A and B are shown apart, each in its own frame.
Chain A
Amino acid sequence: MQIPKAITKKRLSFSEKVYNFFVTMSGLTVFTWEFFKQSFFPPFDIAEIKKHMAELGVKTLPIVSMTGFIIGLVMALQSQPVFERLGASDYLPGIVAVSVVRELAPVITALIFAGRVSSGIGAELGSMRVTEQIDAMEVSAVNPFKFLVVTRVIATTLVLPLLTIYVIFLALAGSYLAVILAQNMSYQYYQTAVIDAIHFGDLLPGILKTFVFGYIVGIVGAYKGFTAEGGTEGVGRASTTAVVLSSLLILLFDTILVKLSLLIWPT
Chain B
Amino acid sequence: MADVTPIRIKRLSKSFDGRKVLDDISLEVTSGENLVVFGRSGTGKSVLLKCAVGLMKPDKGEVFLLGENIFNISTKKLNGIRKRIGFLFQSAALYDSMTVRENLAFPLVRNFRFSEKEINEKVVRALEMVNLAEAIDKMPAELSGGMKKRVGLARGIITQPEIMFYDEPTTGLDPLTSKEISVLIRDLQTELNMTSIVVTHDLICAEIIADRAIFLKDAKVKYEGTIQELVRSDDPFLKNFFSHEILNA
User: Residues on A close to B: CB < 8 A?
Assistant: 124, 127-128, 131-133, 135-143, 147
Contacts and interface: CB of A to CB of B under 8 A. Distances in A.
B83 A139 contact: no
A142 B91 contact: no
Contact of A141 (B79, B96, B97): B79
Nearest to B107: A140
B53 interface: yes
A136 B79 contact: no
Given A141-B107, A141-B111, A142-B107, A136 B83 contact: no
7 contacts: A128-B95, A133-B94, A138-B55, A140-B82, A140-B87, A141-B111, A142-B111
Nearest to B83: A141
Nearest to B112: A141
A16 to B, nearest CB: 15
B111 A135 contact: no
A135 B83 contact: no
B173 interface: no
A139 B89 CA distance: 10
Interface residues of B, number: 23
Contacts of B94: 133, 136
Contacts of A124: 97
Nearest to B87: A139
B107 A133 contact: no
B93 A133 contact: yes
Contact of B106 (A128, A131, A140): A140
B96 A139 contact: no
Most chain A CB within a 10 A radius of its CB, from B50, B93, B97, B111: B93
A165 to B, nearest CB: 29
Nearest to B78: A141
B19 interface: no
Contacts of B111: 140-142
A88 B78 CA distance: 69
A127 B87 CA distance: 19
Interface string B211-245: 00000000000000000000000000000000000
Given A140-B106, A142-B106, A142-B110, A135 B82 contact: no
Contacts of B96: 127-128, 131, 133
B66 to A, nearest CB: 13
Contact of B82 (A132, A133, A141, A147): A141
B203 interface: no
A139 B97 CA distance: 18
Contacts of A135: 50, 55, 89, 93
Interface in B78-126: 79-80, 82-83, 85, 87, 89-91, 93-97, 106-107, 110-111
Between A128, A137, A142, the greatest number of chain B beta carbons within 10 A of the residue's beta carbon is seen for: A142
Contact of A132 (B85, B89, B110, B155): B89
Query: 8 tightest CB-CB pairs across the interface, nearest first?
Result: A141-B82, A136-B93, A132-B93, A141-B79, A140-B107, A139-B87, A141-B83, A142-B110
Given A127-B96, A140-B83, A142-B107, 18 more contacts: A133-B94, A135-B89, A135-B93, A136-B87, A136-B94, A138-B55, A138-B82, A139-B53, A139-B85, A140-B87, A140-B106, A140-B107, A140-B110, A141-B110, A142-B106, A142-B110, A143-B79, A147-B110
Nearest to B75: A143
Contacts of B159: 140
A139 B90 CA distance: 14
Contacts of A143: 79
Contacts of A128: 95-96
Contacts of B107: 140-142
Interface string B27-61: 00000000000000000000000100101000000
A140 B78 CA distance: 11
Contacts of B50: 135
A124 B96 CA distance: 10
